[in-house]
Amino acid sequence: MLNRDGTITEPAHLELKNVSVAYNNHPVLEELTFSVPHGSQIAVVGPNGAGKSTLFKVLVGLLPLCAGQILIHGLPIGHHQDCVAYVPQREEVDWRFPATISDVVMMGRFRRQGWFKRPSKADQEIVAQSLEYLGISELAKQAIGALSGGQQQRVFLARALAQEPHILLLDEPFTGVDITTQETTLALLEKLKDHQVSVLVSTHDLNMAAQRFEQVLLLNHHLIAYGPAQEVLTREALQASFGEQLLVLEHEHQGSSTVIFDQCYQPDKGSIE
C-alpha cells in the first residue's frame, strides 16, 4: 500500500477460490480460481458480457458470491479498511451529482476519517497531492458535471489514489478518453508499480494489454487463460474467448511472425457484465 509519506505497508496478495456469481439465477462468473501476487499489474480481457465488471464489483463487496471465497492478505473481504479502490466505467456514474472535484476526491478519505468528521489536515494534504498528480489542481472548485470525459476520469483516479489502496481496480479506463488522460493513467500505473500496489485493469485494447501489462487474465464467464501476455494472447485462447468478435491478422517481418489482434468491439450498455 502507498502511504502519503511514500512508505509501503502490507502489500496485498489477492486470491480467488472457485468463485461463482449470478444475476437472477443467470450465471455470470463460474468457478474462478486465480491469485494475484502483491504489486502485480493485470490486464483483464474478454468480450462484452464476459463478467469483467462483475468481477470488480465482487472484489469491492458490491455483489455477493454464490459460491467460493475471496481472500486479501489471507482474510475474507470486509476485514480490511478501504483496502480496494474501484474506478467504475464512466457510464455508471451520475455526473449530475452536485459536488466539486475536491469534494469527490475527498470521498476517497471518508472511510478512514469517518463519515461525519471534518477532514483533517492530513486528509486535505492527500487530496491536494492526488489532484496535483493527476494534473487537475486548478479545477478543484469546479462542478464534476462540467468537466470533459477525460477530466472526469482523472477525478476518479485521484479519488482512488487518495484512498491509499492496496489494490486498485480500473474498469475500462481507456475507453472514450483523450490521449492525455490515457498517458496520465499509464503514468499512474507506473507509479503504483513502484509502490507495490496491485492493479487490475479491464480493457478491450488487446495490443495495450500485450504491451503494457505484465500478466493478462482472459475471461469469458470462466477463466480461459492467465499468465504472461505472450502465453495468454494466442490465437486459440482469444478465439475461445471472443469467438466471432475477433479478427486475427498475421504478418511476417524480417523472418519472424507477429500476430496482430484487432477486436471488432462495439460498446453494449445493455449487456450483463
Domain-embedded: residue 51: yes
Contact 173, 121 (CB under 8 A): no
Domain-embedded: residue 90: no
Residue 28 has what pLDDT? 94
| 8 and 131 housed in the same domain | no
The total of structural domains in the chain comes to 2
Q: Among 99-103, 199-203, 225-229, 253-257, which is the least confidently predicted range?
A: 253-257
> Each residue of 180-212: pLDDT tens digit?
888 888 888 988 888 889 999 999 888 889 989
Domain-embedded: residue 91: no
Give, in order, the Cα–Cα distances in Å from 27 to each of 7, 20, 22, 246, 272. Answer: 41, 8, 4, 23, 10
End-to-end CA distance of the chain: 28
| 270 and 175 housed in the same domain | yes
Contact 168, 198 (CB under 8 A): yes
Contact 28, 54 (CB under 8 A): yes
Grid coordinates representing 10? 502490507
What's the Rg (C-alpha) of the chain?
A: 19
The CATH number linked to 2 is: 3.40.50.300
| 172 and 236 housed in the same domain | yes
Contact 131, 140 (CB under 8 A): yes
pTM: 0.83
For residue 74, the SS3 value is: coil
Q: Is 149 left (phi over 0), alpha (psi -120 to 50) or beta?
A: alpha
